[in-house]
Amino acid sequence: MLYRLLGVHPDKEMTPKVYLVSFLAIGALGTLFLFLLLWLQSYLPGGPGVRYLTTPMSADLAANTALSFSTTTTWQAYGGESTLRYLAQIIGLASQNFLAGAAGLAIGMAFIRGFSRERSSTIGNFWVDMVRALLWVLLPVSLVGSLILVWQGVPLNLNPYIEARTLEGAVQMIAQGPVAALEFIKNLGTNGGGFFNANGAHPYANPTPLTNFLGMLAIAVVPAALPITLGHMIRRPRAGVVLLAIMVVLFVAGLAVCDVAESVCPPRLADLGLVGGNMEGKEVRFGIGSSVLAAVVTSNGATGSYNSMHDSFQPLSVLVLVWNMLLGEVTFGGLGTGLYSVVILALVGIFMAGLMIGRTPEYLGKTIKPEEAKLISFYILLTPLVVLTLTAWAAVSDAGRAAVATNGGSHGFTEILFAYASCMANNGQTMASLDANNLFYNLTTMVAMFFGRFGLAALAILLAGRLATQVSKPTTIGSLPCDTVTFGVVVLGSVVLIGAVCYLPALALGPIIEHLFY
């Protein structure tokens, strides 16, 4: 019925360029629709009252938010409960959480077809993949997950805000709204945009240990399943298991470093006789363990759904979080994006290994020829080119430094680097002391979000199209098996090497020097 309504012919497949144009079209239409809705939200009926909306929705903020949600970045330079009306949250943000997430999953499936097909000029039908992602994955799982959140105490209403009087006599505003309608899909669709400014640290958004666990599970479950999907579609299950194992190793390593850093009493407080770890910026009901786990999960995915303030984390912990985002969602990542990120880094490792032994590099039976190598190189270089250029511009310009009002020095530099890495990774989390709601950051973060979503996806789809036209070659004694420990070590080495070469100087100016001297 949907195919007939939308004029989609499910039996008609698309070439890579047509598939890419369709992906760009849904992103452009979603951005335009959401921009108009946000800019004109004052004309919408319903709550909350205008007097509670203290942050004006300027044109540049509306444009930034629209692109943010249509790219699954959900970078929020505003507080949701003090900026948006209920209908804007439901009609605008929730719909984009579904549509943008489904579009990303469609791109991931098309990328897999590049390896599973032979002599094919097509890689599927984008609209068919979109409908499948919505009907069979996102909608049913979100329906069940959202009902569980309501059961656990997450509000789902259109009530006016409540004004309560505290014991000291002050007036406290308690926000209401259709929170549960957004909270689960923001994680499952790897979006992360919170209904509240405090995101997952707010007791209405994330009230219990169960909701905290379900949120983290929703972030990782589909991206972690895609390597296994790849293995089954190419009929080499162990190849998918190896890719998942690489993700798990990187995840555990980052989690261990971050947990150790946060479990030690901060050096500045050591002389005060305090014991225990760093609880600054963390919810007591979650503690250090769940806060660190959530931070590592959300930084590894394209979901900035934090439950603690990362600006208060120790420098080594912040190093782990920003490193995860700079690597381009290699560990789990977003819907589809994490898979092609780790596969492309695997191709880099195979290419270097092939050069060392004098053989043409191959992966899953597909040969990496000069044209494929160029696309891979562009993919690897695009993130450091965008992130480091924008970070340098912000660090030397008056407009960029003006937003770093609370912290200066290396910590302030880290806040800037963190912001652009988050936007380029379509992650959306932020170190909260960066005042990003101004014209400079609203426009420059849009540049990072655009290239992080559409630039990287375009290169991945074009690469998949070229691989789909090839004939899969059988594995020989001269091939590097893609389902062994040796292959996993090669890929892990490539990840570390590329990350160090591209980002070590910038990290040395930020979290590394802060760790050494403060």
The mean pLDDT of 387-404, rounded to a whole number, is 93
What distance in Å separates the CA atoms of residue 216 and residue 211, rounded to the nearest whole number? 9
**510 or 480: whose pLDDT is higher?**
510
355 has a pLDDT exceeding 80 = no
Q: 336, 354, 282, 316: which is closest to 464 by C-alpha?
A: 336
**518 or 27: whose pLDDT is higher?**
27
Task: For the chain, give percent helix, strand, coil, nearest 5.
Answer: 65, 5, 30
Regarding pTM above 0.75, the answer is: yes
Q: 296, 302, 300, 298: which is closest to 449 by C-alpha?
A: 302
What distance in Å separates the CA atoms of residue 82 and residue 101, rounded to the nearest whole number? 26
The mean pLDDT of 258-264, rounded to a whole number, is 91
Give the chain's length: 518
For residue 330, the model assigns a pLDDT of 84
**272 or 56: whose pLDDT is higher?**
56
Which tens digit of pLDDT belongs to each residue from 192-251? 888 888 888 999 999 999 999 999 999 999 999 999 999 999 999 999 999 999 999 999
What distance in Å separates the CA atoms of residue 145 and residue 154, rounded to the nearest whole number? 11
Which tens digit of pLDDT belongs to each residue from 267-318? 776 677 777 788 888 999 899 999 999 999 999 888 888 899 999 899 999 9
Which tens digit of pLDDT belongs to each residue from 449-476? 999 999 999 999 999 999 999 988 877 6
For residue 270, the model assigns a pLDDT of 66
The mean pLDDT of 138-145, rounded to a whole number, is 95
For residue 478, the model assigns a pLDDT of 64
Which residues does 438 contact at the CB level (< 8 Å), separation at least 6? 399, 402, 403
pLDDT band at 265 (very low <50, low <70, confident <90, very high): confident
Q: Which amino acid is at 295?
A: A
Q: 137 near 41, Cβ under 8 Å?
A: no
Comparing 42-56, 164-178, 266-280, 424-438, which segment has the lowest mean pLDDT?
266-280
Query: Between the CA atoms of 391, 396, 398 and 399, what dihedral angle is there, to the nearest 10 degrees?
Result: -10
First-to-last C-alpha distance (Å) of the chain: 62
Q: Which amino acid is at 106?
A: A
Give, for 165, the enclosing helix (H) or strand (E): strand 162-165
Q: 129 near 105, Cβ under 8 Å?
A: yes
Per DSSP, the residues of 250-288 read: HHHHHHHHHHHHHHSPPGGGGGGT--S---TTB-TTTHH
Which tens digit of pLDDT belongs to each residue from 85-103? 999 999 999 999 999 999 9
For residue 198, the model assigns a pLDDT of 87
**304 or 377: whose pLDDT is higher?**
377
- Both tokens of 110, joined, read 């098309």
From the number of C-beta atoms within 10 Å of its C-beta (0-12, 13-18, 19+), residue 45 rates as exposed
Q: 463 near 372, Cβ under 8 Å?
A: yes
Comparing 104-113, 232-241, 432-441, which segment has the lowest mean pLDDT?
432-441
pLDDT band at 477 (very low <50, low <70, confident <90, very high): low
For residue 331, the model assigns a pLDDT of 86
Q: Are strands 162-165 and 171-174 parallel, antiparallel or unpaired?
A: antiparallel
